Structure 1
Amino acid sequence: MTMARIHLTGASCTGVSTLGRGLAAALGVALVDVDDHYWLPTDPPFTTKRAPAERLASVRAALPPEGWVMAGSFLGWGEALIEEVSLVVFLTAPEEVRMARLARREAERYGARIAPGGDMHAAHLAFAEWARGYDRPGFEGRSRARHEAWLAGLNLPVLRLDGAEATERLVAQVEAALRR
C-alpha cells in the first residue's frame, strides 16, 4: 500500500503544525515542517531566509519515500513540491482565534524577549501585523486570496478543515478522507 503524502497549509496559527504533529503520529509517518527548511537557524530566529533553491532541495531531502506529512506553506517558491503530494489539507480559523494563538505561542517561546524593551519586540509586532493581514483584500504576503487561487489550480484532492476544532477531531477527519 502506498503511504499518504499529505501537505497541510493555511494561515499562521490555524493549527497546521499542531495537526501535523498529531497526524504524523497517528499515521506513523515523518513530519516535515516547511519552516525548518525556509529559515536559517539564527538568534533571534526567523530573520534569515534560505535561498529558494536551497529550501526546495532541503525539503525534498527530508521527505522519506514511505510517506509523510508536510506542514507549512511553500507558496511562491516550492510549487514543484506539489508533484509529491497525494492530499492537500487547507486549514482556516477566524482571525481572533489565530491572533490569540499567536500571542500565546510567542509568549511561551520567547517570554520577555517579545515584551517592550526585549530584543525581539519589534519583530514580534511586525510578525503579528503580517499574520493579521492574511484575510485582508490586497495583502501582499501569504494571504487567503493567494491560497484560494493556488488551491483552485490543483489537480488533486483538497480537504478543507476548521483549524479551531480539536486536533483529535481534525486527525480523524483526515484519516477518514484517506480511507475514501
Structure 2
Amino acid sequence: MHINIFGASGAGVTTLGKVLSEKLGYPYFDSDYYFWEKSNPPFTVRRDPLVRNRLINEAMSGLDNWLLGGSVINWNNNWQFDLSVFLYIPQELRLQRLRDREYERYGDIIHSDKYRNRLYHEFIDWARGYDELITNSRSLHAHRDWISNLKTPVLAIEGDTTVEERVEAVMRKIAELKMIKL
C-alpha cells in the first residue's frame, strides 16, 4: 500500500507518518529530506527537482508498502497512491505549533541573530499564507484543488484531533479499502 500524508506545515504530517510507520511496519519517507539539501541553517537550499525525484525513487524502489509525508503535488513523479491522507488544523493552533517547534529546534538564535530571525519570520509568514493564498503551491486552495482531481481514495482529517484519533481514522480507512479490494 502506498500512502501519502499531506497538509500545511505544522499540521502533524511527520508525527502521523512516523507513528503509522511503526504501527504498520511500512517505511516512512519525509519529502523535506528530499526537497531540501543539507545546509546550515537548514531548509534554505532547495535540491534540484531531477536529483530529488531520483533520490526518492531509488529509496522507494522495490517496496510494496510505504508512507510518504509531505505536499508533493508539483513533483511530477507519477506516484500511484492507494490512499491520500489530508490533515488540516486551525491556523492559529498550527502557527503556535510552528513557533514552538522552531524554538525547540533552534533555541534563542531565532530571536537573537538578525539573519536567523529574518528566516524565522519569513517562515512563519509563509506558513500563515497557507490558509490565505490562492497562488501558493502549498496552500489550502492548492491542496483542495488537488484532492478534487485525485482518482484514489482520500481521507480528510480536519480539526484539533489527537495523534491516536488520526491513527485510528487511517487504520479504519485502510481496513475499508482492503475489504473493497477483496
Q: TM-score, normalised by structure 2?
A: 0.91
Distance 2:76 2:159 in 1: 23
Question: Which one of the candidate residues 134, 145, 150 is aligned to 2:146?
Answer: 150
**2:156 counterpart residue number:** 160
SS at match of 2:28: strand
**2:9 counterpart residue number:** 12
**1:121 counterpart residue number:** 117
**2:96 counterpart residue number:** 100
What is the deviation of 1:133? 0.4
**1:55 counterpart residue number:** 52
SS at match of 2:9: coil
Letter aligned with residue 175 of structure 1 = M
- Is there any run of 5+ residues in structure 1 with no aligned partner, and where? none
Q: Deviation per CA, 1:95-135, whole angstroms, max 9, x where unpaired?
A: 01100100110000000221143541110100000000001
Distance 1:153 1:79 in 2: 15
Q: Are 1:14 and 1:163, in contact at CA under 8 Å, matched by a contact in 2?
A: no
What is the deviation of 1:81? 4.0
Distance 2:161 2:78 in 1: 28
Q: Are 1:33 and 1:70, in contact at CA under 8 Å, matched by a contact in 2?
A: yes
Question: Which one of the candidate residues 36, 40, 51 is aligned to 1:39?
Answer: 36
Q: Which moved more, 1:158-167 or 1:105-114?
A: 158-167
Q: Are 2:3 and 2:66, in contact at CA under 8 Å, matched by a contact in 1?
A: yes
Q: Are 2:5 and 2:84, in contact at CA under 8 Å, matched by a contact in 1?
A: yes
**1:111 counterpart residue number:** 107
Please, what is the CA RMSD of the aligned residues? Answer: 1.4
Distance 1:79 1:14 in 2: 23
Q: Percent identity?
A: 35
What is the deviation of 1:139? 4.4
Distance 2:136 2:155 in 1: 25
Q: Are 1:8 and 1:90, in contact at CA under 8 Å, matched by a contact in 2?
A: yes
Structure 1 residue ranges, 4+ long, deviating more than 2 angstroms after superposition:
79-83, 116-119, 137-141
Q: Are 1:113 and 1:119, in contact at CA under 8 Å, matched by a contact in 2?
A: no
Question: Which one of the candidate residues 65, 80, 88 is aligned to 2:63?
Answer: 65
Q: Across the two proteins, how many residue pairs are aligned to each other?
A: 175
Question: Which one of the candidate residues 18, 22, 46 is aligned to 1:21?
Answer: 18
SS at match of 1:18: helix
Question: Which one of the candidate residues 116, 136, 140 is aligned to 1:140?
Answer: 136
What is the deviation of 1:151? 1.0
What is the deviation of 1:47? 0.9
Q: TM-score, normalised by structure 1?
A: 0.92
Q: Are 1:112 and 1:118, in contact at CA under 8 Å, matched by a contact in 2?
A: no
SS at match of 2:6: strand
Letter aligned with residue 122 of structure 2 = A
What is the deviation of 1:57? 1.2
Q: Deviation per CA, 1:10-64, whole angstroms, max 9, x where unpaired?
A: 1110100110111111101101000000000000101110111111111112225
CA, structure 1 residues 46+163, in 2 after alignment: closer, same or farther (shift >3 Å)? farther
Distance 1:170 1:95 in 2: 18
